[in-house]
C-alpha cells in the first residue's frame, strides 16, 4: 500500500491521516496551522515542520499526496507540489472539483491528478474534531474526466475504500452541480432560516423545536469554511439558488392568492421520499472491467445512475446500482 501524505490537518485532512494510519498505511502530514500540527503530533502522528518538508518526504516515499486545505489555499500548495513532488500521484478532498482541476492544469501541469471529495463532515472543525471513522459508509467522489488514467483512478479509489467509504465515480462538473443542490444550498438555506428565526427575538428562540434545530444545524459550522465551499462553486450554486428562489416565490404567490401551499408541500414530500427510497432500496450488484476500453464511460454511467463502487479486485470493480432510477 502506497504511503499517504496529507497537506492540511483540519477535520477532513486529520480524519484522512487517522483513517489511513488505521488502515495500516504509512502516513505523514504537513499543515500551516500550528495548532493542528501540535495537536496531531501530540496524538503521535508524524507532522513535518513545514508543508515543503512534507512534500519532500512524500516525493522520497512516492506517497499519494492528498490536498486537504480550503479552496482559497489550494493554489499555493499546488505551486509547491509542482516544485517538490511533481511525480507523486495527487488527489484532494476539497468540496468543489472543477476549480481544483483547472488550478492543477495551470500550476502543476506535469502532475497526475485525480479529484476526490468525501461527503462527510460535522459542524466542528480542526484536528480536534477529526476521527478515524469519519468516512465509514460515506460516499467519496473520485472524479472520472476525459483522459483520466484508469490506474491512477484505481489507486485513489482504493485509498477511499480503505478509509471506509464507498466510491462514487462522476465528472468534476457533474459533481459540482450535484453538491450545489445537496450540500451548498442546504448551508445557505440554514443560514437564512437561522437569521429569520433569531430576528423573532427571545420568544421565537424559546419556542424553537426540532424543525428549527435540524434546519439550522449546519449554520453552526465555521463561517470561513462555509464561505470557501459555497463561494468556490459559484455558477452551479447560482443555478440551485435560482431554482430555490423560484420555488419559494411560487409558494409565496400561491399562499397570498389561493392560500394553498399544496404544490410546495407535496413536491417537497416527494423529494424527501426519493431520498428515503434511494437509501432504503436493495442495490443491484454490478461488475465493471477496468481493463476494458470503455471503462471510464462505464464508471461515469454508474455514478449518473446513483451507483457506487464498493470493492476493487484487480481489474474488477464491484459496484452497486439502485434497482431503478429514483423517482
- Considering only residues 180 to 239 of the shown chain, the ones binding a copy of itself according to CB under 8 A are 181-183, 185-221, 223, 226-227, 230-231, 234, 237-238
> How many residues belong to the chain?
327
CB of 293 to a copy of itself, least distance (A): 24
Contacts with a copy of itself, 151-170, as mask; x by CB under 8 A: -----------------x-x
If one asks whether residue 318 binds a copy of itself (CB under 8 A), the answer comes out as no
Tell me how far apart the alpha carbons of residues 69 and 232 are, in angstroms, rounded to a whole number.
13
Q: Look up residue 213 and give its three cell numbers.
A: 434545530
Interface of this chain with a copy of itself, residues 71 to 130, rule: CB under 8 A: 119-122
If one asks whether residue 175 binds a copy of itself (CB under 8 A), the answer comes out as yes
Interface of this chain with a copy of itself, residues 40 to 59, rule: CB under 8 A: none
Cell 478532498 locates to 93
Tell me how far apart the alpha carbons of residues 67 and 4 are, in angstroms, rounded to a whole number.
11
By beta-carbon proximity to a copy of itself, the closer residue of 152 and 261 is 261
By beta-carbon proximity to a copy of itself, the closer residue of 50 and 260 is 260
E-state strands within the chain: 4-7, 27-30, 64-67, 90-92, 113-114, 116-118, 139-143, 166-170, 284-289, 308-313, 316-321
CB of 241 to a copy of itself, least distance (A): 5
Q: Which helix or strand (DSSP H or E) is residue 223 part of?
A: helix 223-231
Query: Taking Cα atoms as reference points, which of 113, 103, 170 lies closest to residue 140?
Result: 170
Q: Look up residue 2 and give its three cell numbers.
A: 502506497
Q: Look up residue 9 and give its three cell numbers.
A: 490537518
By beta-carbon proximity to a copy of itself, the closer residue of 25 and 101 is 101
Q: Look up residue 136 and give its three cell numbers.
A: 465509514
By beta-carbon proximity to a copy of itself, the closer residue of 23 and 305 is 305
Interface of this chain with a copy of itself, residues 258 to 287, rule: CB under 8 A: 259-262, 264-276, 278
By beta-carbon proximity to a copy of itself, the closer residue of 49 and 260 is 260
Q: Look up residue 160 and give its three cell numbers.
A: 477511499
- Size, binding site for a copy of itself by CB under 8 A: 102
Amino acid at each position: 500500500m502506497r504511503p499517504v501524505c496529507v497537506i492540511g490537518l483540519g477535520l477532513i485532512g486529520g480524519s484522512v491521516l487517522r483513517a489511513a494510519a488505521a488502515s495500516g498505511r504509512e502516513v505523514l502530514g504537513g499543515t500551516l496551522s500550528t495548532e493542528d500540527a501540535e495537536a496531531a503530533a501530540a496524538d503521535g502522528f508524524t507532522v513535518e515542520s513545514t508543508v515543503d518538508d512534507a512534500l519532500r518526504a512524500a516525493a522520497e516515499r512516492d506517497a499519494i499526496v492528498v490536498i486537504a486545505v480550503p479552496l482559497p489555499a489550494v493554489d499555493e500548495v499546488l505551486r509547491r507540489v509542482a516544485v517538490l513532488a511533481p511525480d507523486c500521484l495527487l488527489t484532494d478532498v476539497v468540496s468543489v472539483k472543477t476549480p481544483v482541476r483547472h488550478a492543477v492544469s495551470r500550476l502543476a501541469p506535469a502532475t497526475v491528478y485525480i479529484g476526490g471529495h468525501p461527503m462527510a463532515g460535522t459542524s466542528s472543525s480542526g484536528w480536534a474534531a477529526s476521527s478515524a471513522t469519519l468516512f465509514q459508509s460515506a460516499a467519496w467522489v473520485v472524479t472520472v474526466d476525459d483522459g483520466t488514467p484508469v490506474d491512477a483512478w484505481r489507486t485513489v479509489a482504493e485509498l477511499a475504500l480503505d478509509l471506509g467509504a464507498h466510491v462514487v465515480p462522476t465528472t468534476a462538473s457533474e459533481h459540482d452541480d450535484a453538491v450545489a443542490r445537496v450540500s451548498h444550498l442546504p448551508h445557505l438555506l440554514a443560514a437564512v432560516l437561522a437569521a429569520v428565526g433569531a430576528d423573532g427575538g427571545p420568544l421565537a428562540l424559546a419556542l424553537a423545536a426540532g424543525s428549527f434545530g435540524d434546519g439550522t444545524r449546519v449554520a453552526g459550522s465555521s463561517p470561513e469554511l462555509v464561505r470557501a465551499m459555497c463561494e468556490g462553486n459559484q455558477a452551479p450554486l447560482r443555478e440551485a439558488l435560482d431554482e430555490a428562489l423560484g420555488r419559494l416565490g411560487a409558494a409565496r404567490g400561491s399562499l397570498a392568492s389561493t392560500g394553498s401551499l399544496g404544490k410546495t408541500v407535496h413536491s417537497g414530500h416527494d423529494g424527501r421520499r426519493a431520498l428515503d427510497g434511494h437509501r432504503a432500496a436493495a442495490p443491484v450488484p454490478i461488475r465493471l472491467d477496468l481493463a476494458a476500453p470503455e471503462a471510464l464511460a462505464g464508471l461515469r454511467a454508474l455514478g449518473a445512475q446513483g451507483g457506487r463502487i464498493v470493492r476493487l479486485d484487480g481489474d474488477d470493480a464491484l459496484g452497486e446500482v439502485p434497482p431503478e432510477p429514483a423517482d
